Each structure stands twice: as C-alpha cells, then as structure tokens.
Chains A and B, each alone.
Chain A
Amino acid sequence: MAVERFPVEASHIMMFARSIGDPNPIYYDDEYAAGTEPGRVIAPPTFAQASAQFDPDYFLRPKIGEPWFGSGKNPTGVVREPGSGGGGGGGGLHAEQHFEYHRHVGPGDVLTAAVRKGDTWEKESKRAGKLVFSESITEYRDQHGELVITARSVGVRTEKPVEQ
C-alpha cells in the first residue's frame, strides 16, 4: 500500500500491542522503555502493516458515503460480478509476509511507504482450485528518507473458498 504520511504514534502502538496480546511495556511505557536497549518505546515487529490506516484508498476500510461489501440489511452491500473469484471476500487471502528491519521505529517517526509489484505465479490446489499468487514489495522510509523496513507480501486469489 502506498502511503504518503504514516505518523507512528504512541497510542496506536499501544492499541496494536494489545490487539496481538503482547503485554511488553516496551510498547507503551516511556519510563520503562528509557531503561531498555532501544531507549524508547518502539513498535512491535509487525506494526508496519498498520500503515493501512493511513492509506486513503485502502480497500479493506469502509469509506464514508460509499457502499461497503460487508453485511448490513443484506449479507453484502455491493453486487459482485459473477466470476469475480471466491474465497477471499474482498481481495483474496494473505499467503506470506516478510519484513526486514533496518531500524525499529517508534513514536515521532513519520514514515512513507512506496510499493512496487513483484512476481505473479499460479498453482493448482486440491483445497481451493486454481491459486493466483501476487507479490508486492513495500519500502518504508523515515522522515530523513532512510530505509527503515522492507516488507514483502504475497497475496493469493483462490478459485473457490478453501475447503476445511
């Protein structure tokens, strides 16, 4: 996801750490963090994914005044084209995620995220039919233009819902 401005904020980090069930005070307690090696509150390793909050076009967030594909009166708020692919609801499923950390970010950092497409490949699977994989690479840079995190994400569109 391309993001022009991703301000890393203390309360966002705290909420994110809570949501992944991690009670480590490095994620919310300034005083504690001052006595650790990083010397300040830092974000958990997978926090960069929350840049979605700052992507104005992120398709998995309802937009004010626009139909949403989740349920309300009806199971979905949008009419889907036949053959638009099953199994993923909005945009397929997440197959892989990889992060390289050049520096760990914390409150006060203001990041940008630039995305480029990687490889695309197909595979046949017993449980979900034809799988179409697509890779994207996101470079997160800080307020000084320094590369802080490189992320590689692989998404998969399945022909049908994954059999359980």
Chain B
Amino acid sequence: MPLNAVDLDVGDTRTMVLTDDLTRTQIVQYAGASGDYNPLHTDDLFTREVAGYPGVFAHGMLTMGMTGRLLTDWFGDGRLTAYGVRFVNQVWPGDALTATATVEAIRVDDGVHLADVSVVTTNQDGKPVVTGSATARLDP
C-alpha cells in the first residue's frame, strides 16, 4: 500500500465519493465519538430558534475526518506527516460530498521522500466545503 516516490508524479490526482446523502445519524455518531456535543450539530430546535440557522449542520471535523480517508487510502496507513484544512462552507444533512486530492510536489527532506498534496471536498453544487493540504511519507 505505501507508495514509491518513483511511481508518483506531480499532478496525479485521486477522487473519492465520501457520501451521497449525509445523514443526521452520522452527525450524531460523530458527536458521540468525538465528544463534541455542540447542539448546533444535533439539536434542530436550538439551532433554528437560538442560533438562527436553518437547521443542524455537520461538524467541520466530521468532513475533515471523512476527507482523511481519501489520503490514508491513497498513501497508506500511518504515512501522513501533516494534514490541515480550512472549513470554507457549512455541510448540511443530505449533502453529497466528494473529495479530490492532487500531488503538488514530491521532495526529499533529510533523506525522507515526501509528497505534498492539496485536497478539496465539494458538495453537490460543486461548492468547496473543506480545502487543505497534507504531506505523506513515500518509499524511495
């Protein structure tokens, strides 16, 4: 599964459908597992009447976690050395999310082969919800 630097080129890209219909139950699952019980994500009454949003929306960290699967499936288990994102638009129940990662650079740092990738997850309207970057360790 780990990738060899010689087999990877700048511009290589991978896409993964993360969900075609994000459920409220998955958001509840994430709240329970992560410990982030902010009612904005699971409590529709609070979210509409107190916070002023049309309804509950997903934790940014849920989308970041789902997006991470594309990176670990591509580069291998335990191969990431960095992963960071911005949450640029909210994710709502019913959204369909697709993640795309692109190799931006392949380099050697202190004898370690590394790939820098950009990553973007978009919703069904093509609007980005998460944008970011990651670095993965490669085999020579």
Q: Which residues of A contact B (CB under 8 A)?
A: 12, 15-16, 18-22, 24, 26, 36-38, 42, 44-46, 49-53, 58, 60-62, 69-71, 75-76, 80, 86-91, 93-101, 104, 152, 160-162, 164
List, sorted by A's number, 24 A–B pairs whose CB atoms are closer than 8 Å: A12-B33, A18-B33, A19-B33, A24-B72, A26-B77, A36-B77, A44-B68, A44-B72, A45-B71, A45-B83, A52-B36, A58-B35, A70-B37, A80-B50, A86-B51, A89-B38, A89-B51, A90-B38, A96-B85, A100-B81, A101-B82, A101-B83, A161-B51, A164-B90
User: Are B84 and A98 in contact, CB atoms less than 8 angstroms apart?
Assistant: yes
Q: Which residues of B contact A (CB under 8 A)?
A: 1-2, 18-19, 26, 29-30, 32-40, 43, 45-54, 59-62, 64-66, 68-69, 71-73, 76-87, 90
Cβ-closest chain A residue relative to B68: A45
User: Are B51 and A95 in contact, CB atoms less than 8 angstroms apart?
Assistant: no
List, in ascending order, chain B residues with CB within 8 A of A20's CB: 30, 62, 65-66, 68-69
Tell me the number of A-to-B contacts counted with CB atoms below 8 Å.
170
Contacts A45-B83, A95-B86, A101-B81 given; indicate if A76 touches B69 (C-beta within 8 A).
no
Cβ-closest chain B residue relative to A103: B78
Interface residues of A, dominant DSSP: loop
Of A19, A38, A93, A96, which is in contact with the most chain B CB atoms at under 10 Å from its CB? A19
Cβ-closest chain A residue relative to B63: A20
Contact of B34 among A19, A90, A160 (CB under 8 A): A19
CB distance from B121 to the nearest CB of A (A): 12
User: Are B62 and A161 in contact, CB atoms less than 8 angstroms apart?
Assistant: no
Contact of B39 among A15, A22, A69 (CB under 8 A): A69
